[in-house]
Amino acid sequence: KHQGVCRYPLGMSGGQIQDEDISASSQWSESTAARYGRLNFEEGDGAWCPEITVEPDSLKEFLQIDLRSLHFITLVGTQGRHAGGIGNEFAQMYKIKYSRDGSRWISWRNRQGKQVIEGNRNAYAIVLKDLEPPIIARFVRFMPVTDHSMNVCMRVELYGCEWLDGLVSYNAAAGEQMSLPAYSAYLNDSVYDGAVSHSMTEGLGQLTDGVCGLDDFTQSHDTHNVWPGYDYVGWTNESFSNVEIMFEFDRIRNFTTMKVHCNNMYSRHVKVFRQVVCYFRSEADWEATPLSFSPVEDVENPSARFVTVNLANHMASAIKCQFYFADAWMLFSEITFQSDTAMYNTTLAPPKSGLTPDTQPKDDPTHKVDDSNTRILIGCLVAIIFILVVIIVIILWRQVWQKMLEKASRRMLDDELTASLSIQSETFAYTHNQSSTTSEQESNSTYERIFPLGPDYQEPSRIICKLPEFAQSSEEPVQDGAPHYAEADIVNLQGVTGGNTYAIPALTMDLLSGKDVAVEEFPRKLLTFKEKLGEGQFGEVHLCEADGMQEFMNKEFLFDIPEDLPVLVAVKMLRSDANKNARNDFLKEIKIMSRLKDPNIIRLLAVCIYSDPLCMITEYMENGDLNQFLSRHEPEGQLALLSNAPTVSFNNLCYMAAQIASGMKYLSSLNFVHRDLATRNCLVGKNYTIKIADFGMSRNLYSGDYYRIQGRAVLPIRWMSWESILLGKFTTASDVWAFGVTLWEILNFCKEQPYSQLTDEQVIENTGEFFRDQKRQIYLPQPVLCPDSLYKIMLSCWRRNTKERPSFQEIHRALLEIQQG
């Protein structure tokens, strides 16, 4: 689960990683110091370059990043030194070393044991590499490798997310070998990164790599070159009376649960453990009374499953669990821990001085800059700042001009608008792996003329470049289907948090904005900050308590809360330094939001616009978003009984889906297009009530659901219709498509990302298959819980022809029937 979702850039290109946290073995000059090793940055001389040429087999040079806390790293990106065409140095190959504590360094190897990673082929293109297995570390080193002596420069980025489990290592007896009739299954921990002899010590591995084993343990997700039993670590009762695993954590935590992913293939004498006894250690000593838990034995269902063990808020920095056999074998593929994360935030960043690894260059000659140089430097800086100011003024002027020109030309020169899309060089810098098609794309200009998209829609046309066949026959579908407003007069609001808010036709916009804002100003001092929900380019979303909100709410507004209690609200806040466009968009968003009145749409309650920062106060629902809500729940039945998880009935799933359809029915009746309908954007209240909101995109938690190109636009491609991805068309019909995906998520209890087995690139290829319609497109599979009648609704939402998709009225009616029948 981690791997699909956890692919967020960790801040080399975005700047969240500070200069002081980037170091290197050496530098060629001050202008190629470690801090210039940021992906997509062109500052200094354009990259980090070590002092001397890199020799084959000398692994002396490295670029090191300190992430300040443990992270789960799934992907790395590298780039050479381009420096506007002057540079031509890059690393053809590299290795990665990592460390959790800054002293013990581990060499990364892939699942086949290979250490060397293929790097760049030229100085400008970004090459991304999935880390299989992923890394859990605080420090990461990139070490260039060459086959002949050469100059090497690198820019890098890490992708992943914070490692909230806080697990630093687990120790256990080494996994064993199981003889099967025809062959053996090797149940050792094949990616363990600590020491392995009779037992495993001080490492992490298979149990934390985010890959859950399959029901049949002899099979594996990773089909190439792995042995039977690869995903599992297993032990037999012949060798042990019980299996003791010791878990060490980064600090004392308040533990809620442990989830153990166990195999249960009882036909091969493998079963979930019979009992587990856990001991806790917070300071020096182990607590005297252990906690014990026995799951219900299951000999009906052979599927692998997570068994949840309630750790009852024990405080500990180490946990020791003894697992008892229910049969001859016990096989685990993942173990995760849930602990109090609020506490986590407070101790996130360790003290700045602590733990700097002693590998930094001690005797750095470049620090001996004398006084006269300093003065020259300051002079230069002042000059540069002056020039920058002038450039900024010019750019601002140009933007104003462009806006005016665009307005005039939009009507006359609809198709010619695409000329603005021919921003070439960057478009092709994004090559996944060693895609060699870059040069063909560069020279082929026909792709750019076909799609009359506004300047906000650059990304879909880039995606099209990946589908060469698309260009040949694409004249026809551009015209078909959806109403025209989607292409031309659309008012596209970029929400404060960087997300799309509702996109609506300009016509409706005029109607809406005719009157004054119908919501009242709320006294800022009555808001009490509770938690940050999200953050984006232009602002933040906070969860707050509002005192006396009752007075501000209209009578028509049914909100069954007791008098005088503070109300939970979401507060969207514009940064006070946001530019004028962002401010205008924010005010427009307020106008639009204030007109939306439907029981299934989040309501705007009040605003603070008399002073900065501008705020929008909307409802918030106590159960959080639907995605998290369902992830915490299980379907009714055996499995839920086994793991004590709370459940949601099928009827209630239908009830929630019907409410989403009803809210969307309302939006579509106003010709509003949501553009980002998904469970993460629906909030859950009491008794399974649902309201649709729009701040999903701003949250790191869900960054894996969006496809990022060059850190610019982000698109929820797994929810998007083919025509939205390929043509940039967003209509009610594309919202219907997204609804189909949302329904699929609901029936899967959000346990899986849509198309989780496909990479982002494969999802886009699949979109091309939907367009070509030669029966090669892959549909999302029918969820286990989902009756045929519901799956039929989903399939109808994913029809190629937009006109054949059902309306939200029809969907709503059908869902009500299924719920009642």
Ligand X SMILES: *[C@@H]1O[C@H](CO)[C@@H](O)[C@H](O)[C@H]1NC(C)=O
The residues that are catalytic are 676
What does the chain come to in residues?
821
Residue 466: strand, helix, or coil: coil
Question: Least distance from C-beta 532 to ligand X, angstroms?
Answer: 18
Adjacent-strand bridge partners of 778: none
Residue 83: strand, helix, or coil: helix
d(CA 692, CA 544): 19
Closer to ligand X by Cβ: residue 75 or 135: 135
Please choose, from the candidates 512, 502, 519, the residue with its C-alpha nearest in 3D space to the C-alpha of residue 610: 519
Question: Least distance from C-beta 187 to ligand X, angstroms?
Answer: 9
Query: What tokens does 665 get?
Result: 């029915």
Question: Least distance from C-beta 356 to ligand X, angstroms?
Answer: 31
CA 258 to chain centre: 23
- Asked if the bond preceding 646 is cis, omega within 30° of 0, the reply is no
Closer to ligand X by Cβ: residue 189 or 694: 189
d(CA 732, CA 807): 8
Q: Alpha carbon of 555 to those of 527, 552, 558, 737: distances in Å? A: 22, 9, 7, 35
- Over its C-alpha atoms, the chain yields an Rg (Å, rounded) of 28
Please choose, from the candidates 242, 247, 164, 205, the residue with its C-alpha nearest in 3D space to the C-alpha of residue 333: 205
Longest dimension (CA), the chain: 86
Closer to ligand X by Cβ: residue 328 or 714: 328
Closer to ligand X by Cβ: residue 188 or 431: 188
Do residues 673 and 735 make contact, with C-beta atoms less than 8 angstroms apart? yes
d(CA 653, CA 169): 39
d(CA 382, CA 416): 42
Q: What would the DSSP string read from start to end of 120-140?
A: -SSSS-EEEEEEEEEEEEEEE
Query: What tokens does 753 get?
Result: 């990302």
Question: Least distance from C-beta 173 to ligand X, angstroms?
Answer: 13
Residue 700: strand, helix, or coil: helix
Closer to ligand X by Cβ: residue 317 or 435: 317
Closer to ligand X by Cβ: residue 186 or 324: 186
d(CA 710, CA 425): 12
Helix (H) or strand (E) holding 791: helix 788-797
Question: Least distance from C-beta 287 to ligand X, angstroms?
Answer: 13
Do residues 176 and 239 make contact, with C-beta atoms less than 8 angstroms apart? yes
Closer to ligand X by Cβ: residue 237 or 438: 237
d(CA 582, CA 587): 9
Question: Least distance from C-beta 136 to ligand X, angstroms?
Answer: 17
Q: Alpha carbon of 333 to those of 415, 469, 618: distances in Å? A: 55, 42, 42
Question: Least distance from C-beta 190 to ligand X, angstroms?
Answer: 5
Q: What is the DSSP letter of 213?
A: P
CA 263 to chain centre: 28
Closer to ligand X by Cβ: residue 74 or 190: 190
Query: What tokens does 161 get?
Result: 């997310």
Question: Least distance from C-beta 482 to ligand X, angstroms?
Answer: 48
Closer to ligand X by Cβ: residue 200 or 570: 200
Q: What are phi and psi of 515, to 5 degrees?
A: -95, 175
Please choose, from the candidates 708, 757, 717, the residue with its C-alpha nearest in 3D space to the C-alpha of residue 738: 717
Question: Least distance from C-beta 237 to ligand X, angstroms?
Answer: 4
Helix (H) or strand (E) holding 653: helix 650-669
Query: What tokens does 548 get?
Result: 């006396």
d(CA 209, CA 205): 6
d(CA 374, CA 489): 54
Question: Least distance from C-beta 310 to ligand X, angstroms?
Answer: 12
Closer to ligand X by Cβ: residue 283 or 577: 283
Closer to ligand X by Cβ: residue 237 or 819: 237
Residue 170: strand, helix, or coil: strand
Closer to ligand X by Cβ: residue 315 or 758: 315
Question: Least distance from C-beta 731 to ligand X, angstroms?
Answer: 45
Please choose, from the candidates 521, 574, 586, the residue with its C-alpha nearest in 3D space to the C-alpha of residue 549: 521
694-730 as b/e: b if 16+ CB within 10 A: bbbbbbebbbbbbbbbeeebbbbbbbbbbbbbbbbbb
Question: Least distance from C-beta 90 to ligand X, angstroms?
Answer: 33
Query: What tokens does 369 get?
Result: 């800059």
d(CA 522, CA 545): 13
Strands 634-635 and 682-684, bridge-based pairing: unpaired
Question: Least distance from C-beta 255 to ligand X, angstroms?
Answer: 8
Closer to ligand X by Cβ: residue 282 or 438: 282
Cα angle for residues 205, 206, 211 (degrees, 5° grid) = 130
Give the footprint of ligand X on this chain (CB under 6 A): 186, 188, 190, 192, 196, 227, 237-238, 254, 313, 315, 327-328, 340
Please choose, from the candidates 353, 343, 337, the residue with its C-alpha nearest in 3D space to the C-alpha of residue 66: 353
